[in-house]
Amino acid sequence: MFLLLACSPAFSADQASKSTFLSGIHKKNQISCADCHGKSLAVNDSETALNKNCVECHGTLEKLASKSKEHINPHNSHLGEVNCTTCHKGHGPSKAYCNYCHSFGMKIPAMGSAEQSNDKKWTQETSQKKSKKEKMKTESADVVVIGAGGAGYVASITAHDAGAKVILLEKMPITGGNSMLAAGGINAAATRFQKARSIQDDPAEMVKETMKGGREKNDPELVKVLAYRSSDAVDFLASLGADMTDLVRSGGVHADRTHRPVGGAAVGPHLVKVYRENAAKRKIDVRVNSEVVKILSDNNGTVTGVQVKGKHSGLYTIKAKAVIDTAGGFAANNELVGFYKPQFKETASSNQPGATGEGVVLAEKIGAKVIDMEQIQIHPTMGGETKVLISETVRGSGAILVNHAGKRFVNELTTRDKASAAIFEQPDKSAFLILGEDIRKSNVQIDGYIVLGLVQESDSIEGLASKMGVPAAALAATVDSYNKAFDAKNDPEFKRQDIPRKIAGPKYYSIWVKPGRHHTMGGVKINTEAQVISTKGTPVVGLYAAGEVTGGVHGWNRLGGNAITDTVVFGRIAGANAAKFIKQHTVKKP
């Protein structure tokens, strides 16, 4: 979908050259509109050609990153190879995308000033004129997928491989969603990777522990599917090229079940890179800046497609026999969270800014049943006042939690609801993670927290205590007693089952942590075939859903590592069933 950009009369070359936006800066350097936009001045929603031109002139992100001397290098981030226009705007104030999640306050050229009101006016006027004048366009596909996070990519790849023509739509300027941020790993039981390390595990245990963690409020049939197909899910990821070889323990389970890349690297950026590459290899039509605003259905309630609002193209329709809703959760939506859980409204969220829950609303509007919306998970460890999640796997690797008195107060590997509740009971409603050198080395993500300035370090426990402002003798006694529990393989005070490493030097580290809004367990009700269930109890014909947009899999409290399993297991089911559905309903031409 294209919209023609007009340099005049609404936005003349003269105005452009006066602007301090990138358009003006380019004009001053004798670069014309056509140099960036191409001769036709057309821009598609994914801004592909525009970005190709940015790269041609300025180089790839990798090249730009290699030139940078900055401490935090925005061109070398976990977001991967994203569009330049994600941060740099031609006709509006540029804004570093990183600032949505981090608190760097990063400044980039052409942030904008009062003079730029012309550009704003231009953008609004032009797009309004276009949307009034143009008749709404219609395209068609076999399957439309809403939301390009993990579940969306998995469903798209699966449906494509089963022969369907797929369009994957993402409202944000980059794909990846919350899946891109996943830190810990993916849970799976009885995998070949566990067997290679002689780890005893069993899907039946995964069912039991997932149900217990969810306070037995989960849909047991969905949980069985999750657990019994989890090993296959990891094999599927490996078949796409993902590295799932490292293992660690998450809270509330008896075995090292959380799979992640070698060295303990964050699972999300790795998986999203793999998904992007696989989608590109298959030439799947992935569109960013493309928000689904309506799921369309006929008089019988059968799904017929979606209405999309493209950043440049405006409103258009895609006809499709099957729609897969993978639009994620709503933990970044203050209003919605406040509506369901007023006490969490002001809590910081670990989520990407697009995790605002429209996927639930869209499905509800065409009759989907929505469940457990008030079940919002608080993660125990976000970095101090930031939005950076400190992965549960830091505790899984051996770190302990201490309070401002330097004392442990909870089994660090209990479920999140309990760990968060325990922190809320401490003075200042915050705590510290304490770890030593071996723990740091086992989890490469900790190096990232060091770069972000979230970690304090010292050559001695006493030195660390003084930096933290906690009593040195108490902290030393706590660490000593934990190390004795490691030696005795018994933690009498808190009954922690797994202590994989001692807290030992040469360096000791602490991270100040506070609980934050992390996951929304509720959403659209589905059955084991990933069909969306209506308020009448029957499937909404042609509508499938997977991932955080759904409710029922995790009950009232999700176990760490189970969400990525959810996206892969149910994403695959949704993709396969949507493709099967369209085959059954496609009339063959004679």
Kindly report the three-state secondary structure assignment for every residue of 85-128. HHCCCCCCCCCCHHHHCCCCCCCCCCCCCHHHHHHHHHHHHHHH
Contact 433, 400 (CB under 8 A): yes
Contact 507, 439 (CB under 8 A): no
Q: Tell me, residue by residue from 231 to 270, as one string, x for binding to ligand FAD by CB under 6 A and - for no binding.
A: ------------------------------------x---
Contact 320, 285 (CB under 8 A): no
Task: Kindly list the strands in the beta sheet with 246-248, ordered across the sheet, starting from the edge strand earlier in the chain.
Answer: 186-187, 258-260, 246-248
Q: Tell me, residue by residue from 372 to 401, as one string, x for binding to ligand SIN by CB under 6 A and - for no binding.
A: -----------------x-xxx--------
Q: Tell me, residue by residue from 313 to 352, as one string, x for binding to ligand FAD by CB under 6 A and - for no binding.
A: -------------xxx---------------------xx-
User: Residue 291 binds what, of ligand SIN, ligand FAD, none (CB under 5 to 8 Å, by partner type)?
Assistant: ligand FAD
Closest distance between ligand SIN and the C-beta of residue 487, in Å?
Answer: 27
Closest distance between ligand SIN and the C-beta of residue 133, in Å?
Answer: 46
Contact 209, 254 (CB under 8 A): yes
Q: Parallel, antiparallel, or unpaired for β 285-287 and 258-260?
A: unpaired
* Count of Cβ atoms closer than 10 Å to residue 133 Cβ: 8
Q: Examine residue 403 and tell whether it contacts ligand FAD (CB under 6 A).
A: no
Closest distance between ligand FAD and the C-beta of residue 562, in Å?
Answer: 5
Which residue, 312 or 558, is less far from ligand SIN as judged by CB? 558
C-alpha to C-alpha distance for 318 and 370, rounded to whole angstroms? 25
Which residue, 74 or 383, is less far from ligand SIN as judged by CB? 383
Q: What is the dihedral of CA 201, 206, 207, 209, to 10 degrees?
A: 120
C-alpha to C-alpha distance for 527 and 507, rounded to whole angstroms? 50
Supply φ then ψ for residue 393, to 5 degrees. Answer: -70, -15
Exposed / middle / buried, residue 201 (Cβ in 10 Å: 0-12, 13-18, 19+): buried
Q: Examine residue 173 and tell whether it contacts ligand FAD (CB under 6 A).
A: no
Closest distance between ligand SIN and the C-beta of residue 250, in Å?
Answer: 7
Which residue, 94 or 349, is less far from ligand SIN as judged by CB? 349
Give the DSSP H or E segment for 238: helix 230-240
Rg (CA), the chain: 25
Footprint (CB under 6 A) of ligand FAD, residues 429-488: none
Q: Examine residue 246 and tell whether it contacts ligand SIN (CB under 6 A).
A: no
User: 150, 264, 357, 561: which one contacts ligand SIN (CB under 6 A)?
Assistant: 561
Which residue, 325 or 392, is less far from ligand SIN as judged by CB? 392
CB within 8 A of 297, min separation 6: which ones?
A: 303, 304, 366, 540, 542
User: 146, 148, 183, 431: which one contacts ligand SIN (CB under 6 A)?
Assistant: 183
User: 147, 406, 542, 555: which one contacts ligand FAD (CB under 6 A)?
Assistant: 147
Q: Examine residue 184 and tell whether it contacts ligand FAD (CB under 6 A).
A: yes
Mapping DSSP to helix (H, G, I), strand (E, B) and coil, where does residue 472 land? helix
408 noted as active-site residue:
no
Q: Examine residue 149 and tell whether it contacts ligand FAD (CB under 6 A).
A: yes
C-alpha to C-alpha distance for 397 and 441, rounded to whole angstroms? 10
Q: Examine residue 179 and tell whether it contacts ligand SIN (CB under 6 A).
A: no
Closest distance between ligand FAD and the C-beta of residue 366, in Å?
Answer: 14
Asked if the peptide bond before residue 506 counts as cis, ω within 30 degrees of 0, the response is: yes
Catalytic positions are 416
Which residue ranges make up the site for ligand FAD (CB under 6 A)? 146-152, 169-172, 177-179, 181-186, 267, 291-292, 326-328, 350-351, 354-355, 358-359, 389, 518-519, 547-549, 561-564, 567
Which residue ranges make up the site for ligand SIN (CB under 6 A)? 183-184, 389, 391-393, 560-561, 563
